[in-house]
Structure formats: C-alpha cells, structure tokens
Structure 1
Amino acid sequence: MALQYQIVPVTSFSQNCSIVWCDETMEGIVIDPGGEAKRLCQIIGELGVKVVSVVLTHGHLDHVGGTQKLVEELSGVKIIGPHQADLFWLQGLEQQSQMFGFPLTPAFEPDQWLNENDVVSFGRQQLNVIHTPGHTPGHITLFNEAGRIAFVGDVLFNGGIGRTDFPQGDFNTLIESIKNKLWPLGNDMTFVPGHGPKSTFGQERVSNPFVADESPLY
C-alpha cells in the first residue's frame, strides 16, 4: 500500500497540478488544477483514479483556474482548501482573469476550508495540512509522512521561493513558514513545488540562496 502521484504541468504558467492516489483503493485527489480540465480528466481516466476531492494550496488563478470545470466533469467531487485567509483571492478571480489574460474564471468558495493539523483522506492514504502563509496569507502545504512527499504550492521552489509582492504577501512570514514549518519535516522529504522540478528540503537547505542554512550542518 503506497501513495502514488503524477505531476501534470498545465496552462502557459506551467503550473504543477498533481494527481495523487491510494494504489490499493485507487481513490485519489487533484491538487491545484490550474486549467486544462478536459486534459486532466483524460489523464485521470487513463490512470483509473476515482477522484474524491480537489484540494487547493492557495487562491491564485494559475492554481485554481480549472477547479470548477474539473468538478463539473467529475461530478460529486468536493473542493477543499485553502485556508480561509485566501478567501479574498477566490472572490477576486474575475479580476485575476483579466489581469493575467486568462479565460474568465468566476469567483467561488470551497466546500471546506483547511487549517493547521487538518487531514485530507482518500482511500487508505492521507495528507496532513500545514498552514504556510507568506506567498498568500491562506497558503497551505500538504505532506505524507510515510511516503516522504510534500506538495508545497508556491511556498518553495527548486532554487527559489514564492513571490511576496502580491496583496497580503510577506517575505519574512514566508521565510518563517519554510524554516519553522517545512524544515522540521526532515531533509529527506521530497517536495513538489507549484512550478518547476521537484527537490528535497535537504537540498534546498544546502543550495537555495533564499533559505539555505547559514552554516553547513555536521
């Protein structure tokens, strides 16, 4: 019994949408469907995954833009997350659409907000929730302890960190989220960022110019 996942980059922003499932029951979730709902449905069908919920790490358009169409296609699927502090981003999706030149995306609210220490379950697997503000105030990170995998959205990248120049973004808060919330999960924890290739927390502690440790760990 193991957690499985497939990363599908979507839209012109090459946002990493992750299809995550329990290989025993084939129940799963979709994390951050930024767009291309029909293509995602096709891949979900090919994988044989029964999606039970769509989970959002934060409210930016390039991560939530395909949510409503995907939920319509899959029928009966709930929208979960992010933290309620990102409500203003979801309420402003129409303005975000115009700003980024995306197809018009109407505002929506999830069926359930997520908080620190919540658990997202599917099949016999689960992802634990950490509130990791800074990029947005309601950003959450999901991780699976046994599988040593975390889905961090736009908090941390391979060699970089999330932008903090958007409304209610904050650089110091973001650095605190990374160092105080993510690093304790362990250096061997692999993470899937919102954009770009995977890495591990240990690798970023050595080489990431924004959050590397001040001195080597011996």
Structure 2
Amino acid sequence: MARSSQARRPIGRKAVLRMLRAATPAPLRVLLAGWLPLPSRRASPGTSDVESAVIRPGVSLDVYWLSTQGRQGPAASLLIFGDEVMRFDCLGPGAGHMHLNLKQVRGVPHGTAARLYFREQDVIGQIERACFETEHNLPYALTLNVSARIRRLRFTSAEIQRAVTFLRQAMLAQQARHALPAVVGSASAQPVPQPPPKPGDVSKGSR
C-alpha cells in the first residue's frame, strides 16, 4: 500500500498534556502538578487592569482586578521563574484567601490546602494581610516548592520591602479605582446611631 504523500502533523504539546491529565488518576495528578505548566492568571477571563513590577531578575509581582464567582476585588500573583509561588485574592467578607505554590495544589479540593482563608473580612484588612504574608512568610513558601531552583532562592530585605511596597500601593489603587461606592440611602450608607452623652460629658466637636 502506498503511503500518503501528506506528512502527518505532529501532536501539539498542549494536546499531549491534556491527554496525560485525562489518563492520570487524581491523586497522582496532585503529585505531578508541580512539574506541569500552569496557565498564567493574566490570561484568566476575570482578570483585568494588570500592573507588574520586577522585584529581581526572574521574579515579578502582578497586581490586578479580579472578578470571579460573583465576587470582585484586588488580587496579586508573585511569580518566580514563571511559577506562581504566592497568590492573594482580596474579595471581601468570607471570600478573601491566599494560595501557596499554585502548581502543587492543583486538584486539591477548595477549602483544604488549595485555599488559606483570611481571618480579616474587609478588603483593606485583607490587603494588609497579603503584605504581612509576603514580608514574613515568603521564605517559608519557597521551602515548600518542588523546584530546587526556587527553594535555593534567597531574597534581601530590600527586595522584600520593594515587593511589599508595590503590593500595598497597587492593591489599594485597584480598590480605589474599581470598588463600587456605597449607594445613597442603603443601610451601609446610613450613619451609625450613637448613644446619648452621659451627664457631664463634653463632646469633642463642641470645643
């Protein structure tokens, strides 16, 4: 039988990865996730208004506005050699959370290792929590990464402070640009009732 003169097209890399994921049992997918590529958060349909800063060669910080599952808020991704080592989603009450080493927790159910929920409920408090975690727990996050190249990385105090400063300023700016203002007449816009002054008390405003 004569062979077709048309050469067969090679199977694309993305198609091979899709087939591997489909054929791999779930527990093994979790173990292998650290070596499989993860799509950039920049390409997510819910991501907009991306700002970036280079902290050092191979390390960058993306801050952006995130809309997901009916919630909105500022978010950030710390990328090291292309790996998303830390992610912060400041989405307000009951929804603000962070991730560590995103490739390694793919496939883990939400609410366990995949998401670490913030105790802070308001967006501004969650932004401050993201700054605190970056400043104090970034070295710990590096030690958990499956890549030896990332585990060996060491940041100077100046580099960490540069990351924290950009993170705070950019996330607060995102919140100021995108957050919906309180609706006049709504419960959130009404003044909070104050108790009547005690006899003998002098109001600061009357001085």
User: Do they superpose with TM above 0.5?
Assistant: no
Higher helix share: 2
Higher-Rg structure is 2
Give the structure with the higher percent strand: 1
TM-score (norm 2): 0.30
Q: TM-score with structure 1 length normalisation?
A: 0.29
